[in-house]
Structure 1
Amino acid sequence: MPMEKPGVENVNVLAIECLKGSSKADEWNWEMLQTGDIVEELRIGSSACARSPFKSGRSGVQKLLHTAFKRNESSITVRVRRGRDEFVELQACIVPNDAAGRKQYMLRSIDDPNYAVGFVDRTESECFELQGTRSTRVVTALCTAQLKDGYVSYAWEKMMRDYLPIPNSSCFLSLLVLPSAPDRVAAHYNDLDDTLARANAWLVAAQASGVPIVFMNVQTEPLLTKISGERASSTVNAGSLSELSNVANAGLYGFEDYHGVDIGVVRSVRLWYAPVAGELPVELELKDADGRLGFAISRTEEGFIYISSVMDVDGDHQSASQRAGLNSLYRAASEASKLLVVSRVANEKVLPWMVSSSGAIRCYDTVSLSQKLSLHRHALKPILIHVFLWDRNCARSAGVSHAKRPPPSVPPSPPPASSPTAAVTPQPAFTPELRPSSTHSDEHGGMRISRDTAGEFSFRLEDLSLAGNNWV
């Protein structure tokens, strides 16, 4: 309700107009000048003083401010009146108001440089209406208050180097599963439920083989492609929202853009997972007498690289893997029915990352990885590898030598119940036996998977000392 002031004449006064709000936590208070306050007195510097009524109103005050600013007298005290007998003062400085034009000035608070006010000509009755009661003004200020956004500079390179467990590399692991195309020309794709089932099968099969990973989340990921109209299993008409139900479970749906081009949306699935107890860095120091690193690598059907065999001695001295504690860690994994999965080599991920529409898993082959490790050995350059852990205590009990940085802590957690795409059931406590049909023991007591293929290509080395193992 506006403040009732009986007998108020319609006289012109100089009033306050708030231009910029405060940035302080206690932003609004009654002691700050507000729009509609009536200016009673201006004291510029230590001598000049002007009182109401002001000659020529706002334009006359702007001239006073301009003269004072040219004389480098920017200090000013403003005394205002609310109603009949309430007065408030503001200590401020005179600054140019470029938004209002040349030779125009505003007052910036000394206590809060972000708070600024200007002057405007109004009648006394208009000022009383703006002032209203104390509660009305607070409610009005609350309704008109707006939150402002901003930008904060961030030292990304430093943070990625200093705070990530593995410098400049994330610990988020995922597999992108494309919808399956039943025919060779990929004219049609299976629906979303089929793609989710394939992602689910991959996760459970990897766990069953002994890969120590847990489910984290699953999401659909649309991929755009140019198609012909008949290839899409469903189409969307931009003018009809009712047709959206037709694409709810489609593996590929299409729509026509503004230029008449048929755009297809491939509904892929991204499966997020994590190692049960994080990743452990293991550094292998090399010596001139090392003829081998002392371990062999293979690959699971799901595309994971793992250590399939170890050796304790290389000639007459310990192997590099034994000195680093990798042999003990390998045996601990075998006793726990787990595979010692290699997740990174020289901080580069060597994990499967995609399943194509033909069903082939994109992953790293063991031949090129063995060659890279062999080059490290010949160059006598230390090798830093990361392995998946299934129990944090196993690293300490195995006496593994690792880098200074601790392994990342990724606690397994199921997705929120409201997630519409959470079709994969989390299995944080699943500890299966190794699949007997795809593994067998080698002469060192370890277990390896005999099949080592991706799609139609095989990377096995049959002429090595142990068939199916890539020794380095």
Structure 2
Amino acid sequence: MTMDRSSSQSSSKSSDSPSRDFKVLSIECYKGSSKSDEWTGDMLQTGDIVEELRVGGSANSLIRFKAPFKNGKSGVNKILQEAYKKKDTSILVRVRRGVDEFAELQGCIVPNENKKSYVLRDIVDPNYLVGFLDRTEAECFQLQASRSSRMVNELTKTRIQDGFVSYPWERRMQELLSVPNSSNFLSILLLPKASDRVASRYNDVEDTLARANAWLNAAQASGVPIVFMNIQTESLLTKISGETASSTVNAGSLSDLCNIANASLYGFEDYHGVDIGVVRAIRLWYAPMGGEFSIEIKLREEDTKLGFAISRTEEGFIFISSSVIDEGKESLPATRSGLSNLYKLATETSRLLVVSRLSNQRVLPWMVSSTGAIRCYDTVSLSQKLSLHRHTKVPILLHVFLWDRTMATSSAESTKSKPLSSSVLPSPPQIQLAHRPNENQIQPLSCEGSDPSDINISDSSQPTHLERGAVGDVSFRFQDFSLSSTNWI
């Protein structure tokens, strides 16, 4: 579309008073431009007076129609209909604005939504749509003069439209995640502690928050390199009845809303008359200090042991409890893969080498039940799976928590293991790496034994005792942990 200003003489009709009361063919805008420039001077606007129509795509087929147009809008609609049926839809519209201001639109003829009339679509911007309307010349001049107020009115009523955009999720999850198709967001869900045997009453939210805080502090004190990220309440629906239902808070009463702020269980009645209870759990979000590090352990025919042992902390984390340092020989898989070096760096900084994934499957604790038991992974079954890897010679892919990014660099220099994406937030400045623990610090590791069928347990003079774990399986707790009391795979 182009715009020109002519100082040539106007027609006698145009030079007459704007108040002259006769019908003209004018422009009506139906849809605005996608570039939002329909209000610029070179675009057609509502109230512009149509001076000329040129229908046809070539010089041979070009037909001109000039104002005044016979039968106004209806006559022009027949012209457009005939051109559309002949598939000759190219059209140029020339309009007048005021006395000596002109504009042009190069468009194509398309049916309107009701298919009873025809409108023009801009060939440069298909979103811009205009039609025709019969008005008096005075009305057209009034519309042209009210352009500013109409722009303000259009601004007020214009709404931003929403829509859907396709996204290559599978490719992005394969290429941009540290572990394909698996997130780096870590959390544990703590259910409120039941205060009776039938779990009809629960301790309050403050008690659950204290448990989450204690679990995090204990994990950090034992050497698990994690930092706090966020905490939130999570509502779980349950069915209640009887005394429990009558004793819970009626959330429908505004006066009782303050009572549920610290309540772990409150109830309401649905439209079927069933008493529904809402149990408020706590979800604790955390992250490893230095992200996760992948270690691929390749196996050989002559391998009879992997060269490392796994155990579990009281908080449910699986960790490398010991590893053989086979300096120079590299005869064991743990030494060849660099796992032994990484374990050595961990022990020198009083950190645990926590295993976060085995074959891309997470092996982290994920829930605390209403009895206080921690849902986590069993070291016996993990040891059995590692032993099957050794027997079948299928490479083992481990992911471990790092406590410092430089550890990954130093380990990668001597091994072929590769670090993962460093998208995890760095550790806050207030988190300092601890020195080796003394007798006044919390001693790490409540260790759980590995698979006895593939493990040698050496004798130790240190006292030990057998305890029943919270999740129901048997674990060994070493009062004084030492490398001579380890379970080797």
TM above 0.5, yes or no, is yes
Relative distance call for 1:110 and 1:252 in structure 2 (3 A) is same
Q: Distance in 1 between matches of 2:433 and 2:31?
A: 60
Q: Distance in 2 between matches of 1:38 and 1:342?
A: 77
- Asked if residue 471 in structure 1 is aligned to residue 488 in structure 2, the reply is yes
| 1:80 partner amino acid | V
Provide the secondary structure at the position in 1 that maps to 2:346. Answer: helix
Please name the residue that 1:268 is paired with.
281
Please name the residue that 1:215 is paired with.
228
Relative distance call for 1:241 and 1:39 in structure 2 (3 A) is farther
| 2:488 partner amino acid | W
Mapping 1:434-449, distance limit 5 Å: 436-437=442-443, 439=445
Relative distance call for 1:278 and 1:17 in structure 2 (3 A) is same
Q: Distance in 2 between matches of 1:162 and 1:274?
A: 21
Please name the residue that 2:10 is paired with.
none
1:280 to 277, 293, 312: 293
* Higher RCO (Cα < 8 Å, 6 or more apart): 1
Mapping 1:73-112, distance limit 5 Å: 73-97=88-112, 99-102=113-116, 104-112=117-125
Larger mean Cα displacement after TM superposition, 75-84 or 63-72 = 75-84
Please name the residue that 1:22 is paired with.
33
| 1:53 partner amino acid | P
Mapping 1:85-234, distance limit 5 Å: 85-97=100-112, 99-102=113-116, 104-228=117-241, 230-231=243-244, 234=248
Larger mean Cα displacement after TM superposition, 241-250 or 144-153 = 241-250
Provide the secondary structure at the position in 1 that maps to 2:400. Answer: strand
Relative distance call for 1:443 and 1:130 in structure 2 (3 A) is farther
CA RMSD of aligned residues (A): 3.1
Mapping 1:385-464, distance limit 5 Å: 385-398=398-411, 399=413, 401=415, 403-404=417-418, 406-412=420-426, 428-429=431-432, 431=434, 436-437=442-443, 439=445, 454-460=469-475
Q: Distance in 1 between matches of 2:234 and 2:443?
A: 34
| 1:50-102: CA deviation from partner (whole Å, max 9, x where unpaired) | 222322222221111111111221111112233343322111111222x2234
| 1:203 partner amino acid | L
Q: Contact conserved, 2:374 with 2:470, CA < 8 A, in 1?
A: yes
| 2:432 partner amino acid | A
Q: Contact conserved, 1:292 with 1:319, CA < 8 A, in 2?
A: yes
1:361 to 361, 374, 377: 374
| 1:212 partner amino acid | P
Provide the secondary structure at the position in 2 that maps to 1:143. Answer: helix
Provide the secondary structure at the position in 1 that maps to 2:381. Answer: helix
2:68 to 43, 53, 56: 53
| 1:212-235: CA deviation from partner (whole Å, max 9, x where unpaired) | 000111111111222226425643
Q: Contact conserved, 1:219 with 1:269, CA < 8 A, in 2?
A: yes
1:36 to 47, 54, 61: 47
Relative distance call for 1:236 and 1:17 in structure 2 (3 A) is farther
- Report how far residue 134 of structure 1 moved: 4.3
Q: Distance in 1 between matches of 2:324 and 2:330?
A: 11
- Asked if residue 350 in structure 1 is aligned to residue 363 in structure 2, the reply is yes
Relative distance call for 1:63 and 1:177 in structure 2 (3 A) is same
Q: Distance in 2 between matches of 1:137 and 1:348?
A: 61
| 1:389 partner amino acid | L
- Asked if residue 13 in structure 1 is aligned to residue 24 in structure 2, the reply is yes
Gaps of at least 5 residues in structure 1 are: 415-425
Between structure 1 and structure 2, the one with the greater Rg is 2
Q: Contact conserved, 1:281 with 1:402, CA < 8 A, in 2?
A: no
Q: Contact conserved, 1:461 with 1:469, CA < 8 A, in 2?
A: no
Larger mean Cα displacement after TM superposition, 374-383 or 220-229 = 220-229
- Report how far residue 438 of structure 1 moved: 5.0
Q: Distance in 2 between matches of 1:303 and 1:208?
A: 14
Relative distance call for 1:57 and 1:440 in structure 2 (3 A) is closer
Please name the residue that 2:451 is paired with.
none
Mapping 1:239-278, distance limit 5 Å: 240-278=253-291
Larger mean Cα displacement after TM superposition, 359-368 or 16-25 = 16-25
Relative distance call for 1:385 and 1:42 in structure 2 (3 A) is same
Relative distance call for 1:100 and 1:283 in structure 2 (3 A) is same
Percent of pairs identical after alignment?
A: 58
Q: Distance in 2 between matches of 1:432 and 1:249?
A: 39
- Asked if residue 309 in structure 1 is aligned to residue 309 in structure 2, the reply is no
Q: Distance in 1 between matches of 2:256 and 2:135?
A: 58
Please name the residue that 1:419 is paired with.
none
Relative distance call for 1:58 and 1:471 in structure 2 (3 A) is farther
Q: Distance in 1 between matches of 2:26 and 2:289?
A: 68
Larger mean Cα displacement after TM superposition, 63-72 or 449-458 = 449-458
| 1:420-446: CA deviation from partner (whole Å, max 9, x where unpaired) | xxxxxx9633637555555499999xx
- Report how far residue 121 of structure 1 moved: 2.8
Detail structure 1 runs of 4+ shifted over 4 Å in the superposition: 25-28, 402-405, 432-444, 449-454, 465-470
Q: Contact conserved, 1:16 with 1:39, CA < 8 A, in 2?
A: yes
Relative distance call for 1:357 and 1:244 in structure 2 (3 A) is same
Q: Distance in 2 between matches of 1:184 and 1:13?
A: 88
| 1:29 partner amino acid | T
Provide the secondary structure at the position in 1 that maps to 2:82. Answer: helix
- Report how far residue 243 of structure 1 moved: 3.4
